[in-house]
Amino acid sequence: MSRQSDPRTAVAAPVPAAGLPSNEEVARELSLRAANGDLAATQELLAYVWPTLTRVAAGVLGARHAELDDAVQQSMIALVRALPAFRGECHPAGYASRITLRVALRVRRNFKRDAVRREQLEQLDPAEDCAPSPSNDTLGSRRRELLRELLEDLPEEQAEALTLRVVMGWSLEEVARASGAPVNTVRSRVRLAKEALRARIEAQPALAELRGLP
């Protein structure tokens, strides 16, 4: 992708740090035009959703993951391919975020599958009698990693709701708009996902220090 067509260089206005991007009606119009093959509208739409897609992918993979940029690129390609099915029934950024979540989870699984030996070496712990007490930063990192691992095992709807609600910081109402589900359904999905996370922690004594989860 050339610099001129790179969505990151085409964003005209800042996007809020949390929540769905603004100018929903403009994005919805762009999405529908792009779905009909308008190349200029497609480029504008990619510029509009790029910051959100990056945050979703980083939430699933980690901000320093080696495959983060590739996951975002794959997500944009998948979004363009999926646009003909978009009917404007939900927020365009939410539609794009759901696609990105699926792509990022696939990238994460593939990365782990292709690097099993490296992963095993990295996960080796020092001897118990000389292991330092975990710092707050370490605990935070382990919580985030545990959450990312759990996303791979959750039902798709729960993984989607938990990512948008906890990782992205969207409100229940925003997640509902993005997913096209009632607020109570989204609330239930988030609750079930958190319960699964806590159950995994409870089942592993080595994770006892991670129990202080929201």
- For the stretch 16-33, pLDDT in tens is 334 666 678 888 888 989
Lowest-pLDDT range of 47-51, 96-100, 144-148: 144-148
Question: What was the pLDDT predicted at 163?
Answer: 85
Inform me whether the pLDDT recorded for 194 exceeds 70: yes
Q: List CB contacts of 78: < 8 A, sequence separation 6 or more.
A: 99, 100, 102, 103
Inform me whether the pLDDT recorded for 120 exceeds 50: no
Stretch 76-91: mean pLDDT: 88
- Average pLDDT taken over every residue of the chain: 77
| Of 167 and 58, more confident | 58
Q: Which two tokens stand for residue 11?
A: 């964003």
Inform me whether the pLDDT recorded for 77 exceeds 70: yes
Stretch 158-184: mean pLDDT: 88
Question: What was the pLDDT predicted at 21?
Answer: 63
Total-model pTM? 0.66
Answer for the pair 168, 109: CB distance below 8 angstroms, yes or no.
no
Q: Please name the amino acid found at residue 108.
A: R
Q: 2: pLDDT confidence band, cut at 50, 70 and 90?
A: very low
Q: Which two tokens stand for residue 141?
A: 């990192």
At 169 the three-state DSSP class reads coil
Stretch 36-46: mean pLDDT: 90
Outline where the chain has alpha helix (H).
24-35, 39-61, 68-82, 92-114, 116-122, 136-153, 156-162, 172-179, 183-202
Stretch 158-173: mean pLDDT: 87
Quote the CA–CA distance of 70 and 76 in Å, as a whole number: 10
Question: What was the pLDDT predicted at 118?
Answer: 53
Closest of 31, 37, 212, 45 to residue 139, by C-alpha: 212
